[in-house]
Amino acid sequence: MESWTFLAFFIASATTLAMAVTALLLDRRR
């Protein structure tokens, strides 16, 4: 497994997680 493939997967996972957390925080504020 190449390093750039792992890096791309890590970035995608982190972005998805960040979006989910942001959505939850915005939903709780309202």
CA distance 30 to 15: 23
Q: What pTM was computed for the model?
A: 0.62
CA distance 8 to 4: 6
Give the model's pLDDT for residue 6. Answer: 93
Give the model's pLDDT for residue 26. Answer: 95
Give the model's pLDDT for residue 1. Answer: 65
DSSP 1: -
The model's pLDDT over 1-30, given as tens digits with 9 standing for 90+, comes to 689 999 999 999 999 999 999 999 999 988
Q: How many residues does the chain have?
A: 30
**Token pair listed for 21:** 């957390």
Sequential DSSP letters for 5-19: HHHHHHHHHHHHHHH
CA distance 10 to 18: 12
Give the model's pLDDT for residue 30. Answer: 80
